[in-house]
């Protein structure tokens, strides 16, 4: 846990994450092939968000990083969501 000591992630974990990512990819291709109207966009974005969290948490080692790095990443994501919301409020109520 200290500066010098690195957490070694076993190969197996990475292989499992890849399988999950591939599964979610095929799932998102499958659901966008069905006509669900507005839910298609929501579904695809939801699956993409799950996939990106897997990449952030495991591939990018956030799970094993110190809290301040996790908090900074969270804040940047919140900032982005805030900008998206403000932009859409603007366009929606024009």
C-alpha distance across the termini of the chain, in Å: 52
Q: How far is CA 79 from the centre of its chain?
A: 15
Distance, in Å, from the CA atom of 30 to the CA atom of 11, rounded to the nearest integer, reads 29
Alpha carbons 21 and 51: distance in angstroms, whole number: 6
Minimum CB separation of residue 18 from other proteins in Å reads 4
**The binder of other proteins chosen from 1, 34, 67, 72 (CB under 8 A):** 72
Q: What number of residues does the chain have?
A: 94
Say which residue the tokens 């110190």 belong to. 66
Q: Which of 1, 37, 63, 88 binds other proteins (CB under 8 A)?
A: 88
Assigned token pair, 9: 């992630």
Instruction: Kindly identify the residues of this chain, within the stretch 23-62, that bind other proteins according to CB under 8 A.
Output: 25, 28-29, 32, 40-41, 44-45, 47-48, 51-52, 55-56, 58-61
Summarize as ranges the residues that interact with other proteins (CB under 8 A): 3, 6, 8-11, 14-15, 17-18, 21-22, 25, 28-29, 32, 40-41, 44-45, 47-48, 51-52, 55-56, 58-61, 65, 69, 72-73, 76, 79-80, 83-84, 87-88, 91
């Amino acid at each position: 846990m200290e500066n010098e000591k690195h957490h070694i992630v076993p190969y197996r974990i990475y292989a499992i994450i890849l399988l999950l990512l591939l599964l979610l990819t095929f799932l998102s291709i499958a659901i966008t092939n069905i006509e669900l109207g507005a839910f298609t966009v929501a579904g695809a974005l939801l699956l993409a968000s799950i996939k990106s969290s897997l990449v952030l948490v495991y591939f990018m080692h956030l799970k094993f990083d110190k809290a301040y790095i996790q908090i900074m990443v969270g804040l940047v994501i919140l900032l982005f969501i805030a900008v998206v919301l403000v932009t859409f409020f603007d366009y929606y109520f024009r």
